[in-house]
Structure 1
Amino acid sequence: MIDFPPWSFAAAELITLVIILVGLIQVLFNLVQLVFAGVALHERPPLSSTSVLWQRYSELAPPIALIAPAYNEELTIIASVDALLALHYPDFEVVVINDGSKDATLQRLIDHYRLVPVQRYHDQALESKPLRGLYAADDVPRLLVIDKVNGGKADAMNAGINLARSPLVCVIDADTLLEPDALIRVVRPFVDDPVRTIAVGGTIRIANGCHVDGGRVIRAGLPRNLLALVQVVEYLRAFLMARLGLSRMGTLMIISGAFGVFRRGAVLDVGGFSHNTVGEDMELVVKLHRHMREQKRPYRIAYIPEPVSWTEAPESLKILGNQRARWQRGALETFRKHFDMFLNPKYGRIGFVGFGQILIVDVLGPLVEVAGYALVPPLWLLGLISFDYLLAFVALVFTFGVFVSVASLVLEEVQLRRLPRARDLALLTLVAVFENFGYRQLNNFWRLRGWWQFARKKQGWGTMTRKGFQRS
């Protein structure tokens, strides 16, 4: 038996209490988000059919420019653009930005749509790398392809926004497949509340395991790959609980770069997407909050669950780990860049609740949870803390983790009913339970790697290899 000095017991208890306290705050915040998400779903207008939405909004819906950056997307680019061109919306254009791809992305677009070089006047309102050419075709009047020097995703989106001619811009990933009625659904807040609404996000779902034809998901299914299956649960939790709850609280801090609609004038006012971060989607939303509150103007940034887009999820540990480390780095970069907003009364609930959530979940979350795994069991084994402390930590990590995941699934099934088969719901429920035993811990280590990259001031996105969408 090791004879520890008296102070070591107090130090061990203090460390454990800090770990448990941070975990408890995170759990309580998740429960609050879950309650607000439930209220938002209960109060939302009845889900209307596409034909009803078209009758109600087609004459009022403002034009939208879809901004789709593409870098080495030759496997999925045609399916993605086909899906965009087939959207049901009265007035829209598709702006694809080939950001200096090293593969055949540009050539596939030129060959498939028979594009030719064109001229188009535009202001260089937002900073971007030089353009190498513009391409269009008379028989595809909605499509404009921009070829430019590689500058990264933010740079490509800025170039697309510069050339857009519509008052609203919808930023998506080139591999994203929008459902045909996604635009007519996501535009509703802009029509219902045109003065205040400046940004709206929709739902992103995992396309792995689905059958795609003509750029559309014609039959939804669950992935067979375990990593992709776990991400289905993650995305449900992130969008249906976290983003819907934060939106209802008026503290939504991120609209995904894979599917979000912004008022173009507001984006221009804040200088577009920033180049010095890999979390450009989150940073743009924070800049919009800052600008509108400093201008003391009423505004609304919202998430609504009905518009749906589909994306391909990573199916390898290496690619998924790189993605999660990059997301973590982006959140930290945004928090550091706008740290003066944190707890600043000038920014109201954004400074307190919005940035408080970023602090607890993104800044401290992975550090404290990994510290808990590394310290709490050994401290108990050494007799420095009682079994009650170990039990409290295990309950926070596993019991409440399972509850939040399963509750998100229940909320979706009760309110939205997007899972057509009972066995799919049963399978996802099992995944929601077991993701807390292994995958959650691995994800936190990936996020810890993002912390390390942030501390070393690493730049760049890394490689995202895709298999392409499965077709029937």
Structure 2
Amino acid sequence: MIDYFSDFVTWFEYFILVFMLIYLSFYLVLAIYSYLAINKNLRVKYDLTNNKMLKSNQVLGVSVIAPAFNESANIVYNVKSLLSLLYPKFEVVIVNDGSKDDTLEILITHFELKKVDFYYEEKVKTNTVRGHYKSTNPIYDKLLVVDKINAGSKADASNAGVNSCKYPIFLCTDVDCILKKDTIIKLVYPFMSEKNRVIATGAGIRISNSCIVKEGLLKEVRFPREMFPRFQELEYVRSFLFGRMAWSRMNGLLLVSGGLGMFEKKAFFEVGGYWHDSLGEDLDLVIRLRKLMHEQKEKFSIRYFAESLCWTEVPASAKILIRQRSRWSRGLIQSLKIHRKVFFNPKYGITGMLVFPYFVFFEFFVPILELLGLIIIIISLIFLDINLYFLLYSTLAIFLFFQSITLISILIDEFLFKNYNNLKEILILISISMVEPIVYHPINTFAYLKGYWLFISKKELKWGEMTRKGFNTNHQI
């Protein structure tokens, strides 16, 4: 029995060695493409000034859609924040998704809303829409409020918002997200400038925990004070600046974050909108959009911006983080399962031959391989005479490789965008990256494995809610 296990361990070691060499090589390729994408992104940033867009008569109209559920405490400030975005031709569509508090009543009172006769065409089926409201005050003429019965998902509320909006491009966000003033300008630019059909754009998202927010506006960006938000700050910097910029350069983006994503409405309706039963509606939508373009044999683009344009609150405790990440992993496995015919299918171009397989092998399988590897190492230490030096050197090499990727991401982010107030915050982030593999990564891996198990066992398949602490409004901290 020991001999069979020894042979299996030897085979597994070779498999992991080859897998890691491919994985690391792919990361090097991503690093190169990320550099090229950021470089191009910066040229566009300097060539495109806000004044050009604000004074142009040729801009595309954009609808900003934000579902709201039980947001009475901050809804007025949040809506004012969205209405204050800089762009000459936009509307704000707030979807009151069956709130059980007085969110709708507060909106009606503060913004002087009146129920109006509204031609509502249900191009994507949603739960019952009870009515549409417009303001009698010209100051708020850009605001449209949609009142509907809750269906238990953000996807349903977003679909109702898209059904109700009037412009050909829409930006989907969360009502409690804080957007930079020029967010629309940046995200809509590719739709107007590229030769290919642009179907979606996105940008970096940052952590709002500990930031100073007043009346829905971001007054001061502050480094997170709590441990788990700090780990996620590091994670977001690396994934948005490094990973997604590289995929954008290759036109291989498979995910545009639900908190900040701009889409072409025509393509959105062609694929049937957000899927109500999806556990990861943002990933599922982009996969369906890409499949549609490949099937129609149409040249298309999905673009990403390196600059952070959105701030959002993230889980501040291990319990809520695990709950969130297990949801994400269920969304991942569900989307990969539903769209499995894309896997290594040349009909779907780069999506089928590169991007989808990457998500299968390096996003889905890695947590499973990490668990299997840990089990084999423990058993081998007990029953076999393994080479500890080789194990330690291999682990150190992998750690140093990913540490270098993380450090490069931090330095590029600081050099280009200067999101931190002083050197101390940068050093804290670097020190956090040192302990991330032994503190944060195992928790993240556990959450993903838990999500896989819940999906397979068909337990707790609803999204549920993420408890939020709310924004910091105290300027004296």
Q: What SS does the corresponding residue of 2:190 show, helix, strand or coil?
A: helix
* 8 Å contact kept, 2:114–2:136: no
* 8 Å contact kept, 1:87–1:181: yes
The structure, 1 or 2, with the larger RCO (C-alpha pairs under 8 Å, 6+ apart) is 1
**Aligned 1:38-437 pairs, distance under 5 A:** 38-46=35-43, 48=45, 52-56=49-53, 58-139=56-137, 140-151=140-151, 152-193=153-194, 195-306=196-307, 308-391=309-392, 394-395=395-396, 398-437=399-438
Q: What SS does the corresponding residue of 1:61 show, helix, strand or coil?
A: coil
Deviations 1:409-434 (A, max 9, x none): 12222333333422221111111221
Q: What SS does the corresponding residue of 1:46 show, helix, strand or coil?
A: helix
Alignment gaps of 5+ in structure 2: none
By how many angstroms is 1:237 displaced? 1.0
Judged with a 3 Å threshold, the aligned counterparts in structure 2 of structure 1 residues 164 and 56 are, in CA distance, closer, same or farther, namely closer
Counterpart CA distance in 2 for 1:102 and 1:397 is 50
Counterpart CA distance in 2 for 1:233 and 1:269 is 37
Counterpart CA distance in 2 for 1:173 and 1:44 is 25
* 8 Å contact kept, 2:41–2:306: no
| Of 466, 469, 473, the match for 1:467 | 469
What residue identity is the alignment partner of 1:102? K
* 8 Å contact kept, 2:206–2:308: no
Indicate the residue corresponding to 1:8 in structure 2. 5
By how many angstroms is 1:69 displaced? 1.3
What residue identity is the alignment partner of 2:111? Y
Judged with a 3 Å threshold, the aligned counterparts in structure 2 of structure 1 residues 80 and 384 are, in CA distance, closer, same or farther, namely farther
Judged with a 3 Å threshold, the aligned counterparts in structure 2 of structure 1 residues 12 and 76 are, in CA distance, closer, same or farther, namely farther
By how many angstroms is 1:50 displaced? 11
By how many angstroms is 1:384 displaced? 4.8
Indicate the residue corresponding to 2:443 in structure 1. 442
Alignment gaps of 5+ in structure 1: none
Q: What SS does the corresponding residue of 2:437 show, helix, strand or coil?
A: coil
Judged with a 3 Å threshold, the aligned counterparts in structure 2 of structure 1 residues 455 and 397 are, in CA distance, closer, same or farther, namely farther
Deviations 1:296-323 (A, max 9, x none): 0111111112350110111122211111
Q: What SS does the corresponding residue of 1:435 show, helix, strand or coil?
A: helix
Which segment drifts farther, 405-414 or 122-131? 405-414
Counterpart CA distance in 2 for 1:113 and 1:257 is 27
Deviations 1:104-162 (A, max 9, x none): 33333233323222221121100111112222212211111112111211111111100
* 8 Å contact kept, 1:66–1:171: yes
Q: Identity over aligned residues, as a percent?
A: 35
* 8 Å contact kept, 1:186–1:307: no
Which segment drifts farther, 261-270 or 102-111? 102-111
Which segment drifts farther, 126-135 or 55-64? 55-64
What residue identity is the alignment partner of 1:10? D
Q: What SS does the corresponding residue of 2:434 show, helix, strand or coil?
A: helix
| Of 31, 36, 45, the match for 1:34 | 31
* 8 Å contact kept, 2:155–2:281: yes
By how many angstroms is 1:173 displaced? 1.2
* 8 Å contact kept, 1:31–1:404: no
Judged with a 3 Å threshold, the aligned counterparts in structure 2 of structure 1 residues 5 and 430 are, in CA distance, closer, same or farther, namely closer
Which segment drifts farther, 113-122 or 85-94? 113-122
Counterpart CA distance in 2 for 1:433 and 1:466 is 28
Counterpart CA distance in 1 for 2:371 and 2:399 is 14
By how many angstroms is 1:383 displaced? 2.2
By how many angstroms is 1:350 displaced? 0.9
Counterpart CA distance in 1 for 2:97 and 2:23 is 39
Judged with a 3 Å threshold, the aligned counterparts in structure 2 of structure 1 residues 285 and 51 are, in CA distance, closer, same or farther, namely closer
Counterpart CA distance in 1 for 2:121 and 2:72 is 29
The total of aligned residue pairs comes to: 469
Which segment drifts farther, 126-135 or 240-249? 126-135
By how many angstroms is 1:24 displaced? 3.9
Counterpart CA distance in 2 for 1:368 and 1:301 is 31
By how many angstroms is 1:365 displaced? 1.3
By how many angstroms is 1:374 displaced? 2.9
Judged with a 3 Å threshold, the aligned counterparts in structure 2 of structure 1 residues 5 and 307 are, in CA distance, closer, same or farther, namely closer
* 8 Å contact kept, 2:66–2:93: yes
Counterpart CA distance in 2 for 1:38 and 1:160 is 36
Q: What SS does the corresponding residue of 1:44 show, helix, strand or coil?
A: helix
Which segment drifts farther, 109-118 or 217-226? 109-118
Deviations 1:196-253 (A, max 9, x none): 2111011111111111123221111111111111111111111101111111111100
* 8 Å contact kept, 1:401–1:436: no
Counterpart CA distance in 1 for 2:218 and 2:191 is 26
* 8 Å contact kept, 2:130–2:149: yes
Counterpart CA distance in 2 for 1:71 and 1:260 is 19
* 4+ aligned runs moved over 4 Å, structure 1: 47-51
Counterpart CA distance in 1 for 2:347 and 2:44 is 37
Deviations 1:348-397 (A, max 9, x none): 11112111221123220111112223322441343253225523552365
* 8 Å contact kept, 2:223–2:420: no
